[in-house]
Chain A
Amino acid sequence: MAYFQNTHLNVRGISCAVPGDPIDIRDIESTFTEKEIKKFTKMVGVEELHRVNGDKTTLDLCVAAASELMGNINWEPDEVNGIIFISQTPDYFLPTSSSIIQEKLGLSDSCFCFDINLGCSGYVYGLQIAANMLNKYNKKILLLVGDTISKIISPEDKSVSLLFGDAGTATALEYKEDSSLSSFILGTDGKGANNLIVREGAFRNQREHKSQNVSGDYWKDANLYMNGTEIFNFTLREIPKLIEETLTFHKAVKEDIDYFIFHQANKFILEQIARKIGIEKGSLPINIGKFGNTSSATIPLILTTELPKKNNYIDRCTCLLSGFGVGYSWGAAVINFENTFVNNLIRI
C-alpha cells in the first residue's frame, strides 16, 4: 500500500449540497415489495434519499456547495489556487468539469483545475492529493467531490435501486505551517473492477444497449451493476486491515480516535467492520438512513451532519476517515479537525 504523511494540511471548511427534499424510499420506483423494503431498511439502513431530477448534475451540486462555503469563510475567488473535482458522474467526457466550475465560481485564470475519476475512496484520495499540492505559493485549494448515481440506476435492479442517493460537496483546504500530522494510506485491487461497474458508454463498449436479467433483477449495461456479495467480502477482507495499518502508521491506538468516519456503503457492512475492529457504536457515526450511499460524498456528509459542533464549527477532534469500494479502491487517513467551519446543508 502507499503511505503518506503531511504536516501542513488544514481543513478550513466543508459544505454539502443535496437535491431537493428527502424522498421516502417507499415512494421511489423499484421492484421491492413493502415487506422487502422493511427488511432492506432494517439491514442496509436507508430510509430516505435525495435524488436529482431533470438536468441537475453533480457539478451543479458542487458549485452550490462551494459558492456558499467560500462566502461563509471569506475566501475571495482570486485567492483560490486550485480545484480538484472528483466524481464518476461528470457533465462531459471532456472538457473537465473542474474547468467549468472555475468559470462558474469566478476564479482566476492562474487556478489549476483537474478531474479525478474515483468513487467511494475519492474523498480520502482528494485530501491526500490536495495536501501534497498545498505549499507557501498555493495556499488555498477547493476539493469538490460528489456523484449523482441515481442517473445510472435501473429501478428493476434490487441491488442498487434504493441504495444510492445524490450529493455534491466542497471542502476548503489551506496550507498551514506546523499543522498537526495527517497520515494517509491508499490502495487498489483491480481484480474487483467488474464487481461495481457501468459497462457501456465510454470507449470499451460504446452504446451497445445490452440488457441483463439475472434472478429477476433487470438492468442495461449503461446502468450501474453491483455484485453485493463480492463487494461485501472485499470490504470485510481489506478494510479492518487498512484501519489497523493506518493507526499503526500514525502511531496511534483506537482510543486516540474520536470518530471513525467511514464511507456509508451499507449499515450492515459498517456494523461488521466495527465488530471486527472493536469500535464502539458512539464513535462510528452512521447517516445512511437520511442520504443513502452517496459515493464519494458520504464522508463529507458525515463530517457536516453528524459531528458535534459549536456555532457551525466542528469541535476539535481527531478522525480516522476511510473510503472504499469501486475499483476496488480504498484509502484511509487520520486527520485533526480544528476550527473547521461547517456549512448548513444546502438543498437546491
Chain B
Amino acid sequence: MITINEFKVMFEEDIVMVSEGDIMENTLLESLEDWDSMAVVALNGALDEHYGFTLNEEEIKSLVTFSDIINFIMQKNK
C-alpha cells in the first residue's frame, strides 16, 4: 500500500499526465485534458495494485474532484 501523497504523485504523472503539484483536492477531474476512459482504466489498475480494489461504473460516474478518489481509498481501506 502506498501513501495518499505517493498516490497523488502517481496520479499526476502516470494517469492524467500533469506536473507534480498540479492536482489539488478540489481539482475538477473533468477539467483535466487527459481524464478520459483510458485514464479511468489506468486509475483502476493503480487502485487494484496499491489498495486492492477497483471502482465500478457507478462509482466512476460519481467522481467529481480528486478528493472523491481519496475518499474511496479511505473508505474502502477502513
Contact = CB atoms under 8 A, between A and B. Distances in A.
Contact of A229 (B48, B49, B56): B56
B48 A230 contact: no
B2 to A, nearest CB: 15
Tell me what chain A mostly uses at the interface: helix, strand, loop, or mixed: helix
Contacts of B42: 43, 268
A44 B45 CA distance: 13
Contacts, number: 45
A205 interface: no
Interface string A197-235: 000000000000000000000000000000111101100
B45 A268 contact: yes
Nearest to B40: A229
Interface of A: 36, 39-40, 43-44, 158-159, 227-230, 232-233, 236-237, 268, 272, 275-276
B45 A158 contact: no
A232 B41 contact: yes
Contact of B48 (A36, A39, A43, A236): A236
Interface string B33-71: 010111011101100110000111100100000000000
B49 to A, nearest CB: 7
Nearest to A272: B45
B48 A272 contact: yes
Contacts of A230: 56-57
Contacts of A237: 54
Given A43-B38, A229-B37, A236-B48, 8 more contacts: A36-B36, A40-B38, A230-B56, A230-B57, A232-B45, A236-B54, A268-B42, A268-B45
